[in-house]
Amino acid sequence: MIKNEKLMTKRIAVIASGRGSNFQAVINAIAARKIPAVCAALITDNPKAYAIERAKKAHIPVRVIDYHSFPSREVYERALFSAMQRLDPDLFVLAGYMRIVGNEIVRAFNGRMINIHPALLPSFTGLHAQQQAIVHGVKVAGCTVHFVDESLDGGPIILQHCVPVLDSDDEDTLAERILHYEHICLPEAIRLFCEERLVIDGRKVIVR
């Protein structure tokens, strides 16, 4: 039994920019053995990200690639790509990474990179998705975990979860309600990937 568990164990790496609450949800799920994986590293573009403290507490190596220390986005992307190549995990998890991933990186890790987004894609891509939902007047919002492709938040969808939009909601209250389910959906999607149960079939992701 132990031998089989070792064979199933995957290496993941998380890329985050901020407080890292989704990163913490992943850490907790791995610690509880709900995900057959180890977290090999946290990569962050923000040296002040609270996600760094979460990684340190969990004894996860941290690689800081400070976006503002580079003369251009292109130079930053090359440094990020190099760090990702050196790590070369089974899966990269974008958990609150607040930058668009360059096409070279996306192509290199095709099918090995997922993202969590606080909207029911394909609606409300990009930043401030919760505010977009409120302005549009939708009655239902939610979160989506998807594979990353060269489009903006447009890759094949793995999991989604709906939440109601209340008349009294503002961006913050809706974001908080959605975040609760982000913490459930992201670890679940990672688990399915690590158990090799996800098959990309064109636009669809089939769960075996």
pLDDT grade for 138, boundaries at 50, 70 and 90: very high
Domains within the chain, CATH numbers bracketed = 2-116+144-161+178-207 (3.40.50.170)
- Cβ neighbourhood burial of 181 (10 Å; 0-12, 13-18, 19+): middle
Q: Kindly indicate the confidence band of residue 3, based on its pLDDT and cuts at 50, 70 and 90.
A: very low
**What CA–CA distance (Å, rounded) separates 136 from 139?**
9
Q: Which residue among the candidates 117, 128, 136, 161 is catalytic per the annotation?
A: 117
Give the pLDDT score at 121.
98
Residue 208 token pair: 């075996």
Q: What's this model's pTM, rounded to 2 decimal places?
A: 0.94
- Encode pLDDT of 34-90 as tens digits: 999 999 999 999 999 999 999 999 999 999 999 999 999 999 999 999 999 999 999
Q: How far apart are CA 135 and CA 95, in angstroms?
A: 25
Residues 75-128 pLDDT 10s: 999 999 999 999 999 999 999 999 999 999 999 999 999 999 999 999 999 999
Token reading at 160: 């989604």
Q: Active-site residue 59, yes or no?
A: no
Mean pLDDT score of the chain: 96
